[in-house]
């Protein structure tokens, strides 16, 4: 007899959902994997879309993430699946594919400077990233600011401030030390704020 897919209460935290899903996957991979896709696909498409600036490509990339994840899970034993930090693991797969796609696209990038090489000044600490994202009239400018980040700043910024992963989860997803992740996320935030200040 196979276990039913887990029931999710509205108050279930995202971290708890990943743990429930990992246990469900260990019990019945085929049945639970559909819930994994439903739970994480929008966030992965969102992260890929911000990196690539191309929604159809982002959707294709997300499909590839889940195909690779499913194939990997078929090779894992049940205890290993139960121990997965599912969200971090999926984003690790996604970020590798995103990096490859961006590298192949060969888009120009900037760090904490404009495309012409002049440095960007740091803006005041307000508004918050969430406030910037929620302003509909600024959405295109925010997207452009994010796309202009260098790959190392982009990944940390998007996973922290857009996808709202914890620093520990980002460190796992990017295979980087915690201090590096924090520094890159903060530098990415400073760069986005500076871009928005100077692009007015």
53-100 tens-digit pLDDT:
788 898 999 999 999 999 999 999 999 999 988 988 999 999 889 888
- Nearest-CA neighbor of 107 among 72, 140, 150, 73? 150
Per-domain residue ranges of the chain: 14-105, 129-198
User: pLDDT per residue over 102-148, tens digit each?
Assistant: 777 644 433 334 445 444 333 334 445 555 444 444 567 777 788 78
Span 184-199, average pLDDT: 84
CATH of 129-198, one of 3.40.50.2300, 1.10.10.60, 1.10.10.10, 3.90.1150.10: 1.10.10.10
Span 146-164, average pLDDT: 84
Alpha-carbon gap, residue 32 to 34, rounded angstroms:
5
User: Which one has a higher pLDDT value, 155 or 120?
Assistant: 155
Alpha-carbon gap, residue 141 to 70, rounded angstroms:
36
User: Which one has a higher pLDDT value, 165 or 102?
Assistant: 165
CATH of 14-105, one of 1.10.290.10, 1.10.510.10, 1.10.1740.10, 3.40.50.970: 1.10.1740.10
**Residue 163 burial (10 A CB sphere; 0-12, 13-18, 19+):** buried
Beta bridge partners of 113: 119
Give the model's pLDDT for residue 127: 47
Give the model's pLDDT for residue 16: 61
Q: What is the mean pLDDT of the chain?
A: 76
User: pLDDT per residue over 173-185, tens digit each?
Assistant: 888 899 999 999 8
User: pTM (2 decimals)?
Assistant: 0.62
Give the model's pLDDT for residue 151: 81
Q: How far is CA 198 from CA 114, 135, 145, 193, 195, in A?
A: 10, 17, 11, 9, 5
Alpha-carbon gap, residue 142 to 175, rounded angstroms:
27
Give the model's pLDDT for residue 199: 53
Give the model's pLDDT for residue 40: 92
Beta strands in 44-187 (DSSP E): none
What percent of the chain is modeled with pLDDT above 90?
26
Give the model's pLDDT for residue 12: 37
SS (H, E, C) 97-123: HHHHHHHHHCCCCECCECCCCCECCCC
């Amino acid at each position: 007899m196979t276990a039913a897919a887990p029931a999710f209460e509205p108050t279930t935290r995202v971290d708890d959902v990943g743990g429930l899903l990992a246990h469900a996957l260990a019990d019945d991979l085929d049945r639970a994997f559909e819930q994994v896709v439903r739970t994480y696909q929008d966030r992965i498409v969102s992260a890929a879309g911000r990196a690539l600036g191309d929604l159809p490509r982002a959707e294709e990339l997300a499909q590839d993430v889940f195909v690779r994840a499913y194939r990997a899970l078929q090779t894992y034993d049940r205890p290993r699946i139960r121990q997965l930090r599912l969200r971090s693991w999926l984003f690790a797969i996604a970020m590798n594919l995103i990096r490859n796609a961006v590298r192949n696209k060969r888009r120009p990038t900037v760090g904490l400077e404009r495309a012409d090489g002049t440095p960007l000044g740091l803006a005041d600490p307000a508004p918050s990233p969430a406030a910037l994202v929620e302003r509909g009239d600024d959405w295109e400018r925010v997207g452009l600011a994010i796309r202009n980040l260098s790959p190392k700043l982009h990944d940390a910024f998007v996973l922290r401030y857009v996808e709202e992963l914890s620093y520990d989860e980002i460190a796992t997803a990017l295979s980087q030390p915690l201090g590096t992740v924090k520094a890159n996320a903060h530098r990415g935030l400073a760069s986005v704020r500076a871009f928005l200040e100077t692009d007015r």
